[in-house]
Structure 1
Amino acid sequence: MSALSLGIDTSNYTTSVALVDENENMIYNKGILLEVKSGERGLRQSDALFQHVHHLPILLQDLPRGREIEVICYSERPRPLRDSYMPVFRSGESLARSLAGVLGVKRLAVSHQENHLRAAIYGSGSPELEATFAAVHFSGGTSEILLVKKKSIGFECEIIAQTRDLNAGQLVDRIGVLMGCSFPAGKALEVLANQVMPESIDRKLVISTTMDGVDFHFSGQENQAQRLLDAGTDQAVVAYLLLKSIAKTLSKAIGGLQKQYSFQSVLFSGGVMSNRIIKKIVEHELSAAGLKLYFSPGEYSRDNAAGNALMGMDYYKSMRCGR
């Protein structure tokens, strides 16, 4: 019977558990969003950690029974860097260590960012990416473009462009909450933006991009969106212009980086990159760049534990082969 790998991820806004077999069949992949009170734009780490502790047993009780778990892989930090730390990951780490000890199985600690990358590769059809490629990680907690080098298990990531202030997800959530949407506001903002025909928007209405070389700023877009709303601009129009500005910013950064680095492929991950409007604009903006663009469906772009389950299986197979 095929062995199983259990993945656990406890990010700032989602508790996630996934289970994958040796053939990379996703047996189980579920998450629970952390609850943010109406009108608020985030959670304190202590509150988020408490919710993770409550959610993890709920997710584990629904795991399929009758097959043996051979390895447990969990996120222990935000990025694959020594000084990277965030308290919310202690909840998943504690559970993973306890389960591995009780079950007598191997465990593997990785980063939340590597989890995103591995899940995005899987979600985009497991393409044969080059040994070094570019990756976009845009979410509520991160807005970075990375130069990624494959390792036998996981990835080595170098930040080659990043936000200088707000993250893209923060921008979306702040303006979404200002419009009366619930937090997180990404889905609601996309629904709003889809209510308008882009060609019908007055050309004088724009939310411009702000670049600093290949780095970028999002606080300016927040101020511009607020001014448009204060002036009575339709919320759907503001939503579309905001998403367009994120896509334009990202496209400009990738275009600039392509001139500095020799990557041929770009992998997109993070909750913001599950937005179909942003995807469509980025594809259009970079259509002449000669790049291979890999987008993953929302299930594997947003926070999830699928990447950890897959890396755990990679680890199990490497051990079995004696590597």
Structure 2
Amino acid sequence: MSDSIILGIESSCDDTSAAVLKGNIILSNIAANQEIHNEYGGVVPELASRAHQQNIIPVVRKAVDKANIQQKDISAVGFTRGPGLLGSLLVGTSFAKSLAMSLNIPLIEVNHLQAHILAHFIDDANPQPPKFPFLCLTVSGGHTMIVVVRDYFDMEIIGKTIDDAAGEAFDKIGKIFGLDYPAGPIIDRLSKNGDGNSFKFNKPRIENYNYSFSGIKTSVLYFIQKEVRKNPDFIKENLNDLCASVQQTLVEILMDKLEKAAEELNIREVAIAGGVSANSALREAMQKNAEKLGWNIYIPKFEYTTDNAAMIAMVAKLKFDRGEFTDLSVSATARYDIEEEGFK
């Protein structure tokens, strides 16, 4: 079973990705990005699905070629069923079903959020994988949540955002600053030349382990409007400090709840996952807590943080070993209820 070869397909948003996994080792992980969305300041669903249709065959072919295998060597096809943009998901789902049927091999559906967490178990994702149970801060453009991971398919969401996701907040605030989309990596880069203590923004007071990010977005907007009225060049003159201050505030919001959960649940195994886990300030905060609080931390390689098919293949491999296959009648779903699949 460990020598199974899994083809993973990911198409939940604007990246078309395919990966080949043998055992826990990634043989290839290919992605085609859709830069057209930069012109619109966000992902346009109709354009995304059209681009997936153009990209999926060449991306899968390249993944298979780079892995130095033939299609007949593939043991199963894993694909993202959801959550995500329905049009984008339909492209990946339809292709995966067709390929599995033509090769007469199992089809395996994967929950996109589950895959972000289980990416930690890819052979080269970490020096060593997390030990159960562990906490995972899963943070991206569409989701922000703290999950207790007791086993591969025994997870419990103990906190989540009640409005915007953290990645969404980065992008919306970046738009206020006049930055291109996606703004998160740009803010991260500019922050390195700024002082995070230059400007103070309000942090929300939300109960338990839940998050809220709409308030800081509004706080930044009103602050900028007020300052620009006094000095039209305020953003330009203070951009690095503004980015550093926003990033510092967002990371503090994320870490405050994660620290609270780790302490109250007495869990020292702590991981991050999702696109925002590539953020340098978040990674530094995790390192500091490892030293200060005695955490064993797990920070995945950059290539496994954003949407990628390697993580889809990893979950599909775990399901393959358990004999959990998907019927060909399956359909994509934009709101894949994570309570249904491996989450409590």
If the length of structure 1 is used for normalisation, what is the TM-score?
0.85
1:157 counterpart residue number: 155
Cα deviation, residue 19, structure 1? 0.8
Measured at CA, do residues 37 and 26 of structure 1 come closer, stay the same or move farther in structure 2, by a change above 3 Å? Answer: closer
- Residue 209 of structure 1 aligns to which amino acid in structure 2? K
Find the aligned partners of 2:211 and 2:259 in 1 and give their Cα distance: 13
Superposed displacement of residue 275, structure 1: 0.7
Name the structure 2 match of 1:69: 74
* CA spacing shift, 1:178–1:40, aligned 2, 3 Å: farther
- Residue 81 of structure 1 corresponds to none
- Please say if residues 136 and 147 of structure 2, whose CA atoms lie closer than 8 Å, have aligned partners that are also in contact: yes
Contact 1:250 1:282 in 2 (8 A): no
Shift of 1:190: 1.2
**Displacement, 1:145?**
0.9
Change (3 A) 1:54 1:104: same
Matches within 5 A, 1:1-323: 3-22=4-23, 24-38=24-38, 40-62=40-62, 63-64=64-65, 65-67=68-70, 68-78=73-83, 86-122=86-122, 123-130=125-132, 132-151=133-152, 155-198=153-196, 201-202=197-198, 205-213=199-207, 214-230=209-225, 231=227, 232-233=234-235, 234-284=238-288, 287-318=291-322
- Note the aligned Cα RMSD (angstroms): 2.4
8 Å contact from structure 2 (residues 45, 85) kept in 1: no
- Say if 1:287 and 1:30 are closer, same or farther in 2 by CA, change over 3 A: same
Which is richer in helix?
2
Deviations 1:226-272 (A, max 9, x none): 34444225111111111111211111111222344343312211111
**Inter-partner Cα distance in structure 1 for 2:46 and 2:252:** 36
Q: Percent identity?
A: 22
Residue type at the aligned position of 1:91: V
What CA deviation, in whole Å up to 9, does each residue of 1:45-72 have, x standing for no partner?
3332222222211212313154411111
Q: CA deviation at 1:185?
A: 1.7
1:191 Cα shift? 1.2
How far off its partner does 1:94 sit?
1.1
Alpha-carbon shift at residue 5 of structure 1 (Å)? 1.1
Q: Which has the higher strand share?
A: 1
Which deviates more from structure 2 when the two are superposed, residues 182-191 or residues 258-267? 258-267
**Structure 1 regions of 5+ residues with no counterpart?**
79-83
Question: Deviation per CA, 1:130-164, whole angstroms, max 9, x where unpaired?
Answer: 1x32111111110111122324xxx2332211112
* SS at structure 1 position matched to 2:18: strand
> How many Å separate the matches in 2 of 1:38 and 1:100?
34
SS at match of 1:217: coil
Is the Cα contact below 8 Å between 2:78 and 2:109 reproduced in 1? yes
Gaps of 5+ in 2: 228-233, 324-344
Q: Secondary structure at the match of 1:299?
A: helix
User: Are 2:80 and 2:110, in contact at CA under 8 Å, matched by a contact in 1?
Assistant: yes
Contact 1:228–1:238 (CA<8 Å) still a contact in 2? no
Aligned length: 304
